[in-house]
Amino acid sequence: MNVAIIGAGPSGLACALELERHGIAPVIFEQRHRPGDLFDHCAAVLELFTRPNDPLADLKKNYSIELRPINGIRTIVMKSPQKEVNVKGKLGYFFMRGGDPNSVETQLYNKLKTRVSTNTKVHYTDLHRDYDYVVVASGGRETSRTEGIWSTVFSSNMIGGTVIGRFDLTRLLMWMDTRYSKNAYAYLAPMEKKRAFLGLVVPESTVEEARERWKNFWMLESHPYEQVNEIIVEHKAGFVYPHQVGNLLFVGISGGFQEPFLGFGLISALKSGVLAGRAIATGRRYEDLLVQLKEDMKHSLILREMFNSVDNKALDNIMMTLKIPGIKPLIYNTNIDFIRIGTSAAAHIKKVLTNLRKG
């Protein structure tokens, strides 16, 4: 069986590893000089969004993907304009991204037997006639849009960079303030004791606006860090259906597997890649294998819709709610899937209210 994979990011590499486990050696094309993102940064994976499963255990057991985080997250500090909440516990993991020796991409690449053809730009229309299957893992929406299966649900610019300072390797910092982040957030994730990634997500913005809000973020929060570079990346979370068109299978961001609430996408990208490889190798229907991932994306979209109209007063009130005795540990230090429960309830209430208005 001849299989081509366009893109050597997490989803493409995960797909290749799954194919290899079934005795299939894919051909992997990567337009850049190495697998993964062009810049090093740190990604957070929060257990709050993967319950009731530990994300690492779930990847290993159900997807045969074994990864080493650079650290566990033991503290999350959340700041709104007037309030601050500290949460402690076993909260998730930090992963390196990019070309670092400890990055997710490097870890996956080192497990591969198949060679990656780097510095090779290909177009899917040139491949689909020559291969039994083509997996689109290009990390963008261009092919999905061309095929008419993409609908944008959340657009943003992420601006940030590496900063120098002194950091707790187990602490994630998050800021929410509409004066600079609109209805999104900023975050700091440590890579080393003296190096971290500081980023700001600005929804529905131009590059110029993102830069202006980045300046406001530094001014209003009085950061003590030294910034050593600047990164600006456009992110578009989208709804994709179907996820297979003929012999084309869409994974990762190309398949709409970047959740629209916080913009996280690592775990879903890995899972979608594995499931595409599994569908190809076993003959199972790809869409059927994606049921849980699609359900996760739906709940994330409901959360995003809930936060689209939140103002600073509401953010302060959310923080105050988390300070109520018993609420914080109940949400963060249990295996209860509050995201699914809360978004299901919100969706039901919205449906009822809509029906009442129509009636």
What's the whole-number average pLDDT of the chain?
89
Q: Tell me what pLDDT residue 179 has.
A: 96
What is the per-residue pLDDT across 137-149, written as a single tens digit (0 to 9) for each? 998 999 999 999 9
Q: Tell me what pLDDT residue 40 has.
A: 86
Report the DSSP pairing between strands 27-29 and 116-117.
Answer: parallel
pLDDT category, 6, cuts 50, 70, 90? Answer: very high
Long-range contacts of residues 186-189, Cβ cutoff 8 Å, at least 24 apart: 186/217, 187/44, 188/163, 189/41, 189/42, 189/43, 189/44, 189/94
Q: Tell me what pLDDT residue 202 has.
A: 95
Residue 327 has pLDDT above 60, yes or no: yes
Q: Tell me what pLDDT residue 355 has.
A: 52
Residue 331 has pLDDT above 70, yes or no: no
pLDDT category, 330, cuts 50, 70, 90? Answer: low
Beta-ladder partners of 236? 155
Q: Tell me what pLDDT residue 38 has.
A: 72
CA–CA separation, 77 and 187 (whole Å):
10
What is the per-residue pLDDT across 153-201, written as a single tens digit (0 to 9) for each? 889 999 999 999 999 999 999 999 999 999 999 999 999 999 999 999 9
CA–CA separation, 16 and 64 (whole Å):
12
* CATH code for the part of the protein at 3-306: 3.50.50.60
As a whole number, mean pLDDT of residues 26-54 equals 85
Beta-ladder partners of 273? none
Share of residues in the chain with pLDDT > 90 (%): 72
Q: Where are the domains of the chain?
A: 3-306
What's this model's pTM, rounded to 2 decimal places? 0.91
Q: Tell me what pLDDT residue 340 has.
A: 56
The answer to whether 345 and 353 are in contact (CB under 8 A) is: no
What is the per-residue pLDDT across 256-278, written as a single tens digit (0 to 9) for each? 998 776 767 899 999 999 999 99
Angle between helix axes 338-358 and 291-307 (nearest 10 degrees) is 70
Through-space distance between the first and last CA atoms of the chain, rounded to whole angstroms: 56
CA–CA separation, 195 and 226 (whole Å):
10
φ/ψ of 203, rounded to 5, equals -70, 150
Residue 349 has pLDDT above 50, yes or no: no
Beta-ladder partners of 197? 162, 189
